[in-house]
Amino acid sequence: MLLGEAGTHRIEGWHQGMVQAVSSRPDHSLRMGVIGVGVMGSNHARVLSGLPDVRLVAVVDPDIAHRDFVTRALDCRGLDDLESLIAAGVDAVTIAAPTHLHHDLALACINRGIHVLVEKPIASSVEEGHSIIRAANRAGVTLMVGHVERFNPAVRAIKEAVRGEDILSIAITRVGPFPPRMSNVGVVIDLAVHDIDLIRWFTESEIVEVQPQLSSAVAEREDIALLQFRTASGVLAHINTNWLTPFKARTIHVATRKKYIIGDLLTRQVTECFGFQPDGSYSMRHLSVGHDEPLRAELMAFVSAIRNGTRAPVTGEEAVASLDIAIRCLQRQEVTTVSPRKGPRRVAV
Ligand SMILES: NC(=O)c1ccc[n+]([C@@H]2O[C@H](COP(=O)([O-])OP(=O)(O)OC[C@H]3O[C@@H](n4cnc5c(N)ncnc54)[C@H](O)[C@@H]3O)[C@@H](O)[C@H]2O)c1
């Protein structure tokens, strides 16, 4: 099973080490479960099983093949429904089931006092997202959303480089081939929502204008999106995303008044141009970038927020704001389908 957007490793190959790690957990470990162990959830399970002071109690998935694959690799229990996981006793869960199930699964856990990290996007709609936030506030549990790119060391280096700078523009490219299995969302909800979150996070400002261009060249849903934004602070940003590129590319360019920063999220190389001179010359330097696995850093941050009772580093409110912008991009226009055989047609989104 290959990793999703967030990861860089295969789940195979670490079975032995994980078995030892799980069996040596001390009793005060945080008891955790993973709900949905497909592409993303299997990685949650792998990472959680190796975290200090965390005990992966069980994973839940109605798909026997997915469940067995993970339970065999990690030597943890596999359950076929959420109620069995709750009965087994967990302090916290991560939810990586399909997005349309996030709301009901999150509420079922939150209402039992269980801390929740739910994968991005937080839910299928803004209303569902707000309902999850309200439930978490009522129950007093930690709610975090898996916008894992914030934990990518290259992204963190860019965030550091722009801290206190006057950001002028942001250009993000996130392209690649079609995923092996198509879900019921297009590139805006699946991919661009990562970058909408990054634009809001870098600028610390809300997006107030969206100008989307969408097209459905091959898939039913939009598979090309060129999205332009303006933030309340006046930053112009754009996202170029598609599933039509034969290779993956993930780049971020940020222009500030004094710097130009270029980051490659895959090679994790971040370069800063600075010291602009009237003759057009300037200096360049490579910024130091860490080596953490983003998902491990994200899950450690979730555990730390639970243990210390601190604010989750990616809150439900932030995730809903990003989902809201993504949905606005879809609502602003119809998708144009380009088909050489059938000719252009319009489909409602
Ligand atoms: N943060 C990221 O970079 C990233 C990357 C990929 C996916 N995701 C998100 O993760 C979620 C899952 O995506 P995926 O690509 O792993 O999908 P997937 O289809 O590979 O996995 C989903 C799993 O959930 C299981 N499932 C279905 N109903 C369930 C239920 N009621 N209870 C428990 N499990 C159930 C399915 O059997 C499947 O194994 C989505 O919300 C997606 O947006 C995030």
Ligand 1: nearest atom to the Cα of 40: 16
Q: How far apart are CA 69 and CA 64, in angstroms?
A: 8
- Looking at this protein, which amino acid is placed at residue 272? E
pLDDT at residue number 344:
47
Q: Respond yes or no on whether the N-terminal peptide bond of residue 180 is cis (omega within 30° of 0).
A: no
Q: Which of 3, 44, 61 maximizes ligand 1 atoms within 8 Å of its Cβ, making it the mutation to test the pocket?
A: 61
Alpha helices in 257-315 (DSSP H): 294-308
Helix (H) or strand (E) holding 82: helix 82-88
Q: Cβ contacts of residue 213 below 8 Å, gap of 6+?
A: 225, 226, 227, 333
Q: Give residue 99 CA to ligand 1 midpoint distance, Å.
A: 7
pLDDT at 301: 98
pLDDT in tens, 158-168: 999 999 999 99
Residue 11 pLDDT exceeds 60: no
pLDDT bracket for residue 337 (50, 70, 90): low
**Mean pLDDT across the chain:** 90
The strand pairing partners of 286, in sequence order, are: 271
CA distance 83 to 61: 12
Question: Cα-atom radius of gyration of the chain, to the nearest Å?
Answer: 21
Q: What is the pLDDT of residue 184?
A: 83
* Residue 260 pLDDT exceeds 60: yes
Ligand 1 pocket check: which of 9, 11, 39 to mutate, most ligand atoms within 8 Å of Cβ? 39
Give this prediction's pTM: 0.89
Q: Which two tokens stand for residue 52?
A: 């200090």
Lowest-pLDDT range, 29-38, 194-203, 215-224, 262-271? 215-224
What average pLDDT does the segment 6-18 reach? 37
Give me the mean pLDDT over the 175-183 stretch: 86
pLDDT of residue 77: 96
What is the distance in A from the centroid of ligand 1 to the CA of 147? 14
What are the Cα distances from residue 290, in Å, to 82, 116, 155, 158, 311? Answer: 36, 27, 10, 12, 24
- Look at residue 6 in the predicted model and tell me its pLDDT: 41
Tell me, what's the pLDDT at 75?
85
Query: For the segment 218-241, what is each residue's pLDDT rounded down to a tens digit?
Result: 998 999 999 999 999 999 999 999
Residue 285 CA to ligand 1 centre (angstroms): 39
Tens of pLDDT, residue by residue over 122-144, are 999 999 999 999 999 999 999 99
Look up residue 136 and give its two tokens: 């978490």
Output the CA–CA distances (angstroms, integers) from residue 185 to 100, 130, 220, 330, in the order listed.
Answer: 10, 20, 9, 11
What's the confidence (pLDDT) of residue 339?
53
Query: Which of 13-17, 132-136, 233-237, 269-273 bottoms out in mean pLDDT, i.e. has the lowest?
Result: 13-17
Give yes or no for residue 153 having a pLDDT over 90.
Answer: yes
| Ligand 1 center to 120 CA (angstroms) | 10
Q: How confident is the model at residue 105 (pLDDT cuts 50, 70, 90)?
A: very high
**245 φ, ψ (degrees, to nearest 5):** -95, 130
Asked whether residue 24 carries a pLDDT value surpassing 90, the answer given is no
> Is 246 exposed, middle or buried (CB count within 10 Å of its CB: 0-12, 13-18, 19+)?
exposed
Q: Which has the closest alpha carbon to 7: 270, 287, 266, 251?
A: 266
Predicted local confidence at residue 333, as pLDDT: 61
User: Does the beta carbon of 120 sit less than 6 angstroms from any atom of ligand 1?
Assistant: yes
Task: Look at residue 30 and tell me whether its pLDDT is greater than 70.
Answer: yes
How confident is the model at residue 183, as a pLDDT? 75
